[in-house]
Each structure stands twice: as C-alpha cells, then as structure tokens.
Structure 1
Amino acid sequence: MKIAIAGSGALGSSFGFMLQKGGHDVTLMDYWDEQIQTIREHGLTANVNGVIETIRIPIDKPENIQDSFDVVFMFTKSMGLRHMLKAIAHTLTVDTKIVCLLNGLGHAKTIAEYIPTKNIIMGTTVWTAGLDAPGKVHLMGHGPVEIQESDPSGKSETLAIVKVLQDCGLNGVYSEDVHFTTWRKACVNGTMNSLSAILDANIEELFSSTQTHAMVKEIVKEFAAAAEIDGVDLNVDEIVDYINQASVNLGSHYPSMHQDISNRRFTEIDFLNGTVAKMCEDNNIPAPYCRLITQLIHAKEEILGVK
C-alpha cells in the first residue's frame, strides 16, 4: 500500500516507521527543516518499547511531493489540519482515503470540505510517542488504533486498513462507534494533557495528587455535558475509571500538550477544553473548569512567547 504521513512529528514519524518496516511504501510529510534534513541524511531512528532501530524513509514538504497515495494518515496538530489539507490537495485522487487520528473534536467537518465523505476514515489511538531529537522518536504502549469509515460504503477499505495496522504491529481495531471513541479520547486529552501542561508534571506525578482526581471528575462532567449536545452519551464514572486505568501504564510520560508548551509551540487546547467550554456556554451550561483551563493554557503560551 502507498501511504503518506501528513505531519511527521512524534506520533506521525513513529507510525511511518512501523508501516515502512511492515513492507509498505511510506512517505513522510512535514515542514520542520531540521527533521527533514536529519532523516534524509541519517534515517529515522525509533525506540519502540525499548527496541531501537534506524530505517531509511522518504521525507519532504507537502508541496514538493508529486506522488499520489492510497492512504494519507493525518498527524498534524489540530490547528494545522486545514493548512495541511490545502497543501496535500494535489496528491489526492478520487480514491485516496484520509485516516484522521488527530486529538480533539470537530475534525471530520473540516476534512469534508476538501474530500468526499466516502473517503474519510476517523479514528483514535492510545499509543504514546515522543520526539527525542530531530530524526529520533520513541513509541510506547500497545495501541490500539480504532478506526471507522464516515460513510458505510467505505467499510471494506477501512477493514483493509485495519489489517495493515494489525500486520505492522500497530494493533488496528475496527470501531463500531468511533464518535463515542473520539469523545472518550478527548476526555483523556482534556484531563491528562491539559493538567500536565499547566502543572509541569508527568503522568505519574500528576496522578499522585488527590487534587488531580477531584479535578478530573469535574472536567469529565463538563465533557459529558458537551458530548450530550453532540448526541453522545458519556457515563462520567466509567470515563473517570478509564482515565485512571490509562494513567497507570504511562508513568514518566509527558503528554503532547506538555511537550508543546515545553518547546514553546501552540497547543491544541481550543480543540479540547476550549471546544467543550464554547459548546456548553452556547447552550447555557456552566463549564468553569474547561473555560479556566483554556485560559490558563493560553496565558502560558503568551508568557512563554509562543509564536
């Protein structure tokens, strides 16, 4: 299968590494000059659950790539999705599938502005990744990657991509309700990621505080209220248990929002807690935790001079 990775940071590069190792023809797309140059000169090095290998893999800026692809995996930051879709438009055919594994909410509507709904596959993953240096990444955990087509006519192609993910060690799973899964994952990101960034703590440190557990439940209540507006039923206690279980295996991991803040990059807060705050407030539902978290993250971006 001919595959492009649109957004080749920590998670995108790690997926590209696994798919290329699995025998597929993979091209990485990114805008970070140092990442591009390093991978071109020295290859891509990945530490996958303690096993370190280096492979050769093509990488370039989207505008410079003339190939077309069977599948494009989207791994940009949420705020970079629209820009990337414009940049890769010339690589898309009438049959190219886009698999969106971005954090955050509302991405299917944005993608549908650029390609037919029948070509959109939405998904989530609980793989954790980090960018250790240009051209060097680590991938931790065991997945899964849950995906589902946006149009029923695309089920067979989605199942084929699930098999590719399984065969490449990425633990692909066919989701029967990816809309629910997306909201559940947003709850994880809207608690772990945002609180880790604000408190400058890894997951183990974060969840060692009794204050964290109280905050997590209040944040999830607000996410559940917003999800109900979107037609999704989230059981607060079940989601809190899911987050607590997920935290157990993450230990010293710093989530992506913490990584962004630490490297003075903009975060995805507006597509997580920010979206929940707006949805709730538009429907006269209080969302004080999500509103304050969004303000605190933006304040931190401003203090650090993020551009």
Structure 2
Amino acid sequence: MKYAVVGAGAMGLRYGILLQYNAGVPVDFVEPTQASLDKIHAQGDQVWKSRDHKDRHLVKINAYSPEEYQGDPDVWIFFMKQMQLQDALDRLAPKFKAHQTALGAMNGMGHIEKLQKYFTDDHIIGGTAMIATVLNDYGDVDFMGTEGAGSSVYINLTEKDSDTLDQVKTDFQAANLNPSTTHNFMGTLLTKVFFNSVENSIATMFQSRMGELIAYDNFLEGIARPLVNEAYDAADAAGYKLLETRDQMVAQVDYVSKVAYPLHYPSMYQDFSKGRATEVDYINGWIADLADKHGVQALNQRLVQNMVHLAEAMRQFKQ
C-alpha cells in the first residue's frame, strides 16, 4: 500500500520513516507548515533522524505542501495537532478520492468528526500510539526507545474487519510500530486520551519528564487516580467502555513513567516549551465537557485544563 503522512512533526516523521525504510512501502509527506517544509527542502529533501539523542544522520523523504501534492495514496495518515487539522483538511480536500482511507492516530479528541466531512465511515481508521518521539526542530526527529519500542492500536470506525485494516496492520508490523487491532472504537481512542490527561498535562504544568513526576511518592494515588476516576466516570455516564480498567490505567501510568520512558518529555510539554499552543482543550477539556454533558463532575480535569492555560499565559512574563 502507498501512504501519505500529513504532518512532518515528531510522530508523522517516525511513522513515515519507519514505513519507508523498515517496511519498504512508498511514503509521501504532506507538510502544511511552511517553515517546516522550507527547512526540509533546504536540507536537500532530507530530515535528521536520531535515536535516544545518538546516531544523528540524514534520511531522504518526499515532502510536499498540500497544494502541490499530486499523489494518490491508499491511506492518508494524519498526525496534525487538533487545532491545525481543519486547515490542513480544507487545503487537501480536492486531493481526496473515494477509494482512499483516512487514518487518524492523533492526540486528543475531535479529529474523527472532522475526517467524517471528507471520508465515509467505512474509510476511516482510528488509532492510538504509545510511542515516544521528540521533534528537536523542523526536519529533526529523535526516536525515543530501542528499535521496536512502544505499541499502537487501530480500529475501523465501523468496528468491522476490513482488508485495508489488515494490510495496514501488516505494513505497520513490518515497520516495527507493534500494531494491534480492536473492535471498540471509542474505548480504543479514550484509553490514550485518559492516559494523556494525566501524563501530558501534569508534565506540562511542572515542566517535568515522566520519570520525574513519578518520583513524587503520592503521584499515582494523589494525582493520577483522581483524574483517571473522573475520566472513567464520564465514560461510564456516556456509555463508553474502555479497554483497560481504572486500576490498569493507573498501573500503565506507573509503568510508562518508571520503566518505558522515564526521560521523556510528553508532546504537550514539547509544544509548550517552544511557545506553541497545547492540546489541553482536546484532552482534559474534552473529558470535562463529556462529564458536563452527562451530568457527572470532572472538577480536577477542568482545573488541570485551566492550569495548563494559566501556564501558557505566564510564558509572557518568563521571557
């Protein structure tokens, strides 16, 4: 299959490079951010690739703006920030064809509804990735963890099996993205959102690595569990069943922080530290809105949403 990765950021570059060089499938990159595209072109249509800050070298990619892209991929892989996605879709709309599938494995919630404006439900795949990656600068990506580290999960919006999803899984396995599939669409997506509502947001507020958060001896029970409980209460009220229990979610926070990626700054903090807007409204804010809609409370989730925005606002005084 042929893939077009929309968004040459941290995760977009990791997926595309692994598919191109490990799985040996054709990949194009569509980069809506002009400064990023200019940097890649200036490097000779190459990007810097490292792993755990080592072995930094250039790899060749094909990168285009939305307007100049003329390819016909079987699958579009969207790795935009939630607040940037609509603009990218509008610019790419003339390129979409009925036989193509859209795969969204982005952080937060809101992208699936946007994709539904351009693709039919039987041509939309949702997903999540527990794969730590850092964008040092435009055109400069750092894969965190050993080769094959991390995992990813995918599901058709219809919750039915399909040949396309089977082929995607085969290609992603060859790329060392460690894919699995499920038949629970919202449960699959919310598992990562609920995790991020703890790790991403708290790390951003306190400008900390994941391993530094867990060093606080009451992080799991005093901070993580109240946020997890509120998220699960909202999901229960909405009729969504998660892939993990509450205890399993807290245990995952513990494991990822201590063992898998203790030195990793989550993606929200990476945005925050570079002066960019965060996706907190699409994570903690989305959970709080879901709770409000279904008559339960998520006061901690709403507080964290506002505290991250406060941290964003305070940047003007730190320069």
Q: Distance in 2 between matches of 1:45 and 1:238?
A: 37
What is residue 280 of structure 2 aligned with on the other side? Answer: 269
Match for residue 123 of structure 1? 127
The 3-state SS of whatever aligns with 1:137 is: strand
**Inter-partner Cα distance in structure 2 for 1:286 and 1:84:** 34
Instruction: Name 1:224's counterpart in structure 2.
Output: 232
The answer to whether the Cα contact below 8 Å between 2:159 and 2:183 also exists between their aligned partners in 1 is no
Aligned to 1:62: 66
Amino acid at match of 2:165: T
Kindly provide the amino acid, as one letter, of the partner of residue 39 in structure 2: T
Residue 173 (structure 1) aligned with residue 205 (structure 2) = no
**Map of 2:11 onto structure 1:** 11
1:200-211 to 2 correspondences below 5 Å: 200-211=207-218
- Conserved? CA contact 1:39–1:56, under 8 Å: no
After the TM superposition, which residues 292-307 of structure 1 pair with which residues of structure 2 at under 5 Å, given as runs? 292-305=303-316
Aligned partners of 1:40 and 1:58 also within 8 Å? no
Mapped pair 1:101 → 2:105: yes
State the superposition RMSD in angstroms: 1.9
- Tell me the matched-pair count: 306
The residue correspondences of 1:128-167 to structure 2 (distance < 5 A) are 128-141=132-145, 142-151=149-158, 155-167=162-174
More divergent stretch after superposition (45-54 vs 171-180): 45-54
- Partners of 2:41 and 2:161 in 1: CA distance: 35
Q: Shift of residue 52 of structure 1? A: 4.3
Deviations 1:250-286 (A, max 9, x none): 1111001101110111111111110111121233322
Q: Secondary structure of the equivalent of 2:15? A: helix
Q: Please, which moves more after superposition, 66-75 or 229-238? A: 229-238
Counterpart of 1:254 (choices 265, 269, 291) is 265
Q: Deviations over 1:145-169 (max 9, x none)?
A: 2111112566111010000111122
CA pair 230-85 structure 1, distance change in 2 beyond 3 A = farther
Aligned equivalents of 1:96, 1:218: Cα separation in 2: 41
| Residues in 2 aligned to 1:97 and 1:52: alpha-carbon distance in whole angstroms | 33
C-alpha contact (below 8 Å) 1:11/1:139 kept by paired residues: no
Q: Provide the residue aligned with 1:29 in structure 2.
A: 30
Which digits, 9 at most, give the CA deviation of each residue in 1:216-246, with x for residues without a partner?
0000011101211332234322211122112
Structure 1 position 134, deviation (Å):
2.4
| Pairing 1:45–2:48 present | yes
Q: Match for residue 212 of structure 1?
A: 219
Show the counterpart of 1:90: 94
1:87-146 CA deviation, whole Å, 9 max, x = no partner? 211221111111100111243222112211111001111011101122110122423221
- Provide TM-score, normalisation by structure 2: 0.90
Instruction: After superposition, give the CA deviation of every residue in 1:181-237 in whole Å (9 maximum; x if it has no partner).
Output: 211111111000000000111111111012422110000011101211332234322
Report the CA distance shift for 1:182/1:267 in structure 2 as closer, same or farther (over 3 A): same
**Range that drifts further, 160-169 or 208-217:** 208-217
Q: Is the 8 A contact 1:69 1:91 kept in 2?
A: no
Say if 1:46 and 1:230 are closer, same or farther in 2 by CA, change over 3 A.
farther
Query: Distance between the aligned counterparts of 1:80 and 1:229, measured in 2?
Result: 30
Structure 2 unaligned blocks of 5 or more: none
How big is the shift at 1:178? 3.9
Separation in 2, partners of 1:75, 1:232: 25
CA 1:281/1:180 → structure 2, altered by over 3 Å: closer, same or farther?
Answer: same
TM-score by length of 1: 0.93
- State whether residues 160 and 183 of structure 2, in contact with CA within 8 Å, keep that contact through their aligned partners in structure 1: no
- For residues 104 and 35 of structure 1, the distance between their equivalents in structure 2, rounded to whole angstroms, comes to 23
